[in-house]
Amino acid sequence: MSACTPKSLASSGQKPIQEMCHPLGAEEAVLTPSPDVRNITSSIGEKDQILPNGTPVETSSPSSSSSLLNRLQLDDDLDGETRDLFVTVDDPKKHVSTMETYITYRVVTKTTRVEFDLPEYTVRRRYQDFDWLRTKLEDSQPTHLIPPLPEKFVMKGVVDRFSEEFVETRRKALDKFLKRVADHPVLSFNEHLNSFLSAKDLNKRQGLALLSKMGESVKYVTGGYKLRGRPVEFSAMGDYLDMFTQKLGTIDRIAQRIIKEQSEYLAELKEYGPVYTTWAASEAELQGPLEGVASCMANCSIALDELTQDMSGDFLPVLREYVLYIESMKAVLKKRDNVQAEYEAKLEAAALRKEERPTVPTDVEKCQDRVECFNADLKSDWDQWQNNKTQDFRQLLTGMADHNIQYYEKVTAGDYWLMLSYVHLIQVVVQGAKGSVSY
Amino acid sequence: MVEEGSTLLRRMEISVAEAEKRTGKNTVNMQEIFTVYLIETRPIDAITEGHNPAPDSLWRRYSEFEILRNYLLVTYPFIVVPPLPEKRAEFVWHKLSADNMDPDFVERRRVGLENFLLRVASHSVLSNDKILYHFLTEEHRWKEVVCETGFQAKADSRIKALSATFRVKNPDKRFTEMKHYSDELQSLTSQLLRVRARVADRLYGVYKVHGNYGRVFSEWSALEKEMGDGLQSAGHHMDAYAASVDDMLEEEEHYADQLKEYLFYAEALRAVCRKHELTQYELETASSDLISKKQQREELATGMVRTFSFKGMTNKLFGQETPEQREAKLSLLEEQIVQGEETVTEKTVECEEYVKGAWVDMQRFKEQKDRDLREALIGYAVMQISMCKKGIQVWTNAKECFHKM
């Protein structure tokens, strides 16, 4: 299969560097980047990303050297030093109007790209606008994996939509989304992204006119064709996503169960502490220790409540985002299957008529191009997705561990205070202050 | 104050070393399984002299301990008698067995029985009792000997005690207050134990569900290339976390047992107060009996009816009795009055001595209670801290594994 020729920057599937042979491999010795190269499109992660551990991507042959050179010049520098588009989402603010109340976020863009008129932009956007952007990206770049957004709907009464914690969690997710889009070699050049970042008012109705040619052609492929031979790697992707989604579902259920058990534990704790306080009222010498235990329990209750809130607010939403994300990825895989099926059908039809026309008809060639571009786009995005996923889950699970550690630390602090007060009491008793009260 | 006399415990080392199952026939001649406990004793001076004699030992079952305690209750009513460990497992949470044959229950009971013996043997009054000594040192004929003391007959009936509570006019205020305190202590410790059991149950649930993370991380790690190792190790830590709760809650049962002891002690305390009310009531009854007899004598002697009496009425209606009858009545009354005065004197002494002895022991009990419970509460706080430390350890380990993903 020949590599697809880039028609325009926005629509071609450029292979990022990591798709080539390993930098230290023999064949590419002349043109390989420096051995300490990091993964491109290094987005939000504070951590350094590492190359996939010796897992060679079993894909098609590397592209020819000349186009590789082109891409090295056109791509963002792998170290991010000459990255030319920086975006940030911050400063959430509440807006109250007669019709509704909502939050807007400030989106700041700094860029040297010629596609933008100005080097800097500051706009305010609300969740709806991000949602619009993502939909537009999905429609216009159907061969790519679009990063996920935080959950759209929030169950009222369970989480407070305007609480600081919720807004901050959402802001972080929106920031991550935008950074990933901005670091994507193809998506970052999308015109809708440009509007989103720069326009004073988003005219959300401008849609169809900006569909790329590729987008259009893919969009109208019907699912009427049967797929014959799906390449192994895409089957593997599909299988992986199915199994992974299942595991995520299990983890979600476990997390919810834990939250439920903790809430019930909390309810009992809230009854437990006060009994010590009541008892303290009947005692003299024991009053101190009893009230101490009561206050420990109270302290524990507060810490436990915070833990439950943190897990509900931080942990569960991210899991659910990923489930939705995976659904959208499976949709993209399905589309790819359809494109390939169409190509196969047309090829077969042409083969039957081979005697009439010796050369391959152009529409079959176009189909072939489409398939190859789609495959290439998907493969490059897949690897990036794997990296992002590792990072996201490392962060998520580390966060879970941190929340639990903090809970135990808070409880310990309360207990230590109690111990110290006991020591004081014992000293008083030893000094002979006993027998001063009736009971 | 408490005499620092030579209590039994100073002369003798006592322990309840083991428990065993036996089979035998019960009172209705049916086969039953029961547990016996090995009581071991060694004279202390033999040990301090450097010899290491084998302990004397005998086996006793729970019901024999009960008989011993009932004997002590009747024989020393002014003493707050240490309680036995519970007969049946109460305040259980779901993981804990309510079965009396359960090995954990038997073990905790063994500890409780030893504690009972140590407390009794270190009490300045109780430790001198011969029946106690016999119980500890000679297996044979103990039951017969204790029954021969006739203590069962001496036991006050519940009804008598209860009616005294309602009818007594001038109980010692301190005893009334102490009785109220014992009621509160009983109700509070009982409530505390109930809620604690529920809390333990819930805590158990929280920990165990984390075990599911262990399994799903393991399954997930099979899907992954890079993340696999980190996930797998983290999963092991989650399993360890889930398993750690068993030991923690077993330790907490020890705290619960300490509370239970004082739940039962509250009852013993109340019994002492009730006995005071009974003796006081008996004194009041004897006194008022004496007064009314004296009054009757006066009426008979002077012929004047001071207060309304049925006799006075019938005299008016049917005529007075003969002088001989009156003489007979008078002398009978005189006898009764003499007896009554003796009784009142006896009862007064009895009451005073009782109040003195009981007050001393109640003070001793109060100090013991404050000491023991303070220690228990501190121990509880230490347990909580230890539990938190383990939690921090496990989650820190898990966090490291996540870092390495």
Residue A288 phi/psi, 5° resolution?
A: -55, -60
pLDDT at B317: 64
Q: Is B188's CB within 8 Å of A247's CB?
A: no
CB atoms under 10 Å from CB of A156, counted, come to: 8
Spatial strand order in the sheet of A120-126: A85-96, A101-111, A120-126
Residue B138 phi/psi, 5° resolution?
A: -130, 125
pLDDT of A44 strictly over 70: no
Task: Report how far residue A295's alpha carbon sits from residue A273's, in angstroms, rounded to the nearest whole number.
Answer: 7
Highest mean pLDDT among A234-248, B51-65, B300-314: A234-248
pLDDT at A64: 42
Residues of A in contact with B181 (CB under 8 A): 282, 439
Q: Is the pTM of this model over 0.90?
A: no
For B201-219, give the DSSP string: HHHHHHHHHHHHHHHHHHH
| Residue pointed to by tokens 């042979």 | A21
Of A296, A408, A426, the CB nearest to B392: A408
Q: Is B402's CB within 8 Å of A394's CB?
A: yes
Chain A interface test: which of B178, B216, B364 (most A C-beta within 10 Å)? B216
Quick one: DSSP state of residue B95?
T
Minimal Cα–Cα distance from B269 to chain A, Å?
Answer: 13
Residues of B in contact with A291 (CB under 8 A): none
Model confidence pLDDT, tens digit, residues B350-378: 999 999 999 999 999 999 999 999 999 98
pLDDT at A223: 57
Q: If you average pLDDT over residues B110-120, what whole number do you get?
A: 93
Task: Report how far residue A386's alpha carbon sits from residue A351's, in angstroms, rounded to the nearest whole number.
Answer: 39
pLDDT of A2 strictly over 60: no
Give the pLDDT band (50/70/90) at residue B237: very high
pLDDT at A81: 57
Side-chain-facing half-sphere of B110: CA atoms under 13 Å: 21
CB A271 within 8 A of CB B194: no
What percent of chain A has pLDDT above 90?
32
Judged by average pLDDT, the poorest of A21-35, A287-301, B212-226 is A21-35
Q: How many A/B residue pairs have CB atoms within 8 Å?
A: 147
* Residue of chain A whose alpha carbon sits nearest to that of B373: A286
Q: If you average pLDDT over residues A428-436, what whole number do you get?
A: 47
Residues of A in contact with B202 (CB under 8 A): 261, 264-265, 268
Reduced DSSP (H G I as helix, E B as strand, rest coil) percent helix, strand, coil of chain A, to 5: 60, 5, 35
CB atoms under 10 Å from CB of B151, counted, come to: 17
The type of residue at B62 is Y
Minimal Cα–Cα distance from A110 to chain B, Å?
Answer: 32
Q: Is B381's CB within 8 Å of A292's CB?
A: yes
Q: If you average pLDDT over residues A310-333, what whole number do you get?
A: 88
Task: Report how far residue B251's alpha carbon sits from residue B261's, in angstroms, rounded to the nearest whole number.
Answer: 16
Residues of A in contact with B201 (CB under 8 A): 268
pLDDT at B72: 94
Structural Rg of chain B based on CA atoms = 31
pLDDT at A279: 95
Task: Report how far residue B181's alpha carbon sits from residue B189's, in angstroms, rounded to the nearest whole number.
Answer: 12
Chain A interface test: which of B94, B175, B178, B188 (most A C-beta within 10 Å)? B188
pLDDT at A422: 64
Highest mean pLDDT among A24-28, A51-55, A234-238, B5-9: A234-238
Q: Is B378's CB within 8 Å of A434's CB?
A: no
pLDDT at A292: 87
Does residue A151 or residue A263 have the better pLDDT? A263
Task: Report how far residue A328's alpha carbon sits from residue A236's, in angstroms, rounded to the nearest whole number.
Answer: 17
CB B236 within 8 A of CB A260: no
CB B307 within 8 A of CB B206: no
- Element at A5 (helix H, strand E): none
Spatial strand order in the sheet of B31-43: B12-25, B31-43, B56-61
Of the candidates B372, B263, B387, B112, the residue with the CA atom closest to the CA atom of residue A275: B263
Q: If you average pLDDT over residues B261-272, what whole number do you get?
A: 95
| Residue pointed to by tokens 């901005």 | A182
Q: If you average pLDDT over residues B209-234, what whole number do you get?
A: 92
Of B377, B382, B395, the CB nearest to A404: B395
For A65-94, give the DSSP string: HHHHHHHHHHSPPTTSTT--EEEEEEEEEE
* Residue of chain A whose alpha carbon sits nearest to that of B186: A279
Q: If you average pLDDT over residues B311-319, what whole number do you get?
A: 64
Task: Report how far residue A178's alpha carbon sits from residue B384's, in angstroms, rounded to the nearest whole number.
Answer: 45
Q: Is B220's CB within 8 Å of A397's CB?
A: no
For B238-283, give the DSSP string: HHHHHHHHHHHHHHHHHHHHHHHHHHHHHHHHHHHHHHHHHHHHHH
- Element at A61 (helix H, strand E): none
CB A129 within 8 A of CB A193: no
Residues of B in contact with A249 (CB under 8 A): none
Task: Report how far residue B88's alpha carbon sits from residue B146's, in angstroms, rounded to the nearest whole number.
Answer: 25
Sign of the CA dihedral running B365, B371, B376, B377? positive
Of the candidates B68, B71, B69, B79, the residue with the CA atom closest to the CA atom of residue B275: B79
Of the candidates A268, A240, A262, the residue with the CA atom closest to the CA atom of residue A326: A240
Task: Report how far residue A225's alpha carbon sits from residue A48's, in angstroms, rounded to the nearest whole number.
Answer: 44
pLDDT at B370: 94
Judged by average pLDDT, the poorest of B125-139, B308-322, B384-398 is B308-322
pLDDT of B7 strictly over 90: no
CB A394 within 8 A of CB B405: yes
Does residue A68 or residue A430 have the better pLDDT? A430
Q: If you average pLDDT over residues B59-70, what whole number do you get?
A: 92
What percent of chain B has pLDDT above 70?
92
Q: If you average pLDDT over residues A62-86, what whole number do you get?
A: 51
Region of A50 please: left (phi>0), alpha (psi -120 to 50) or beta: beta
Q: If you average pLDDT over residues B222-240, what whole number do you get?
A: 92
Give the pLDDT band (50/70/90) at residue B53: confident
Does residue A349 or residue A297 have the better pLDDT? A297
Torsion of CA B362, B364, B369, B372, to 10 degrees: -160
CB atoms under 10 Å from CB of B83, counted, come to: 20
Residue A36 phi/psi, 5° resolution?
A: -95, 30
Contacts of A324 (CB under 8 A, 6+ apart): A148, A151
pLDDT of B208 strictly over 60: yes
Residues of A in contact with B405 (CB under 8 A): 390, 393-394, 397
Residues of A in contact with B182 (CB under 8 A): none
Scanning A220-315, the segments in alpha helix (DSSP H) are: 232-282, 287-310
Model confidence pLDDT, tens digit, residues B66-114: 999 999 999 999 999 999 998 888 887 776 667 777 888 888 899 999 9
- Element at A121 (helix H, strand E): strand A120-126
pLDDT of A355 strictly over 70: no
Q: If you average pLDDT over residues A36-44, what whole number do you get?
A: 37
Chain A interface test: which of B191, B395, B400 (most A C-beta within 10 Å)? B395
Minimal Cα–Cα distance from A281 to chain B, Å?
Answer: 10
Residues of A in contact with B402 (CB under 8 A): 394, 397-398, 401
Residue A259 phi/psi, 5° resolution?
A: -60, -40
Model confidence pLDDT, tens digit, residues A139-187: 888 888 998 888 777 665 566 777 887 888 889 889 989 998 998 888 9
Residues of A in contact with B382 (CB under 8 A): 419
Of B185, B370, B381, the CB nearest to A415: B381
* Residue of chain A whose alpha carbon sits nearest to that of B201: A265
Task: Report how far residue A294's alpha carbon sits from residue A281's, in angstroms, rounded to the nearest whole number.
Answer: 12
pLDDT of A235 strictly over 70: yes
pLDDT at B49: 74
Quick one: DSSP state of residue A99?
S
pLDDT at A426: 56
pLDDT of B310 strictly over 90: no
Residue A30: C-alpha distances to residues A14, A61, A238, B165 (Å): 20, 17, 36, 106
Task: Report how far residue A392's alpha carbon sits from residue A244's, in angstroms, rounded to the nearest whole number.
Answer: 14
| Residue pointed to by tokens 């084998």 | B54
pLDDT at A22: 39
pLDDT at A263: 94
Task: Report how far residue A310's alpha carbon sits from residue A315's, in angstroms, rounded to the nearest whole number.
Answer: 7
Residues of B in contact with A298 (CB under 8 A): none
Task: Report how far residue A368's alpha carbon sits from residue B322's, in angstroms, rounded to the nearest whole number.
Answer: 143
Residue B69: C-alpha distances to residues A364, B77, B85, B113, B146 (Å): 101, 11, 12, 11, 11
Model confidence pLDDT, tens digit, residues A88-97: 999 999 888 8
Minimal Cα–Cα distance from A236 to chain B, Å?
Answer: 11
* Residue of chain B whose alpha carbon sits nearest to that of A416: B385
Q: Is A53's CB within 8 Å of B370's CB?
A: no
- Element at B12 (helix H, strand E): strand B12-25
Q: If you average pLDDT over residues A23-28, what whole number do you get?
A: 36
Task: Report how far residue B65's alpha carbon sits from residue B82's, in angstroms, rounded to the nearest whole number.
Answer: 12
| Residue pointed to by tokens 């305007």 | A162
Of A271, A285, A393, the CB nearest to B195: A271
Of B189, B205, B227, the CB nearest to A261: B205
pLDDT at B115: 94
Q: Is B377's CB within 8 Å of A292's CB?
A: yes
Judged by average pLDDT, the poorest of A56-65, A241-250, A336-345, B79-88 is A56-65
Give the pLDDT band (50/70/90) at residue B21: confident
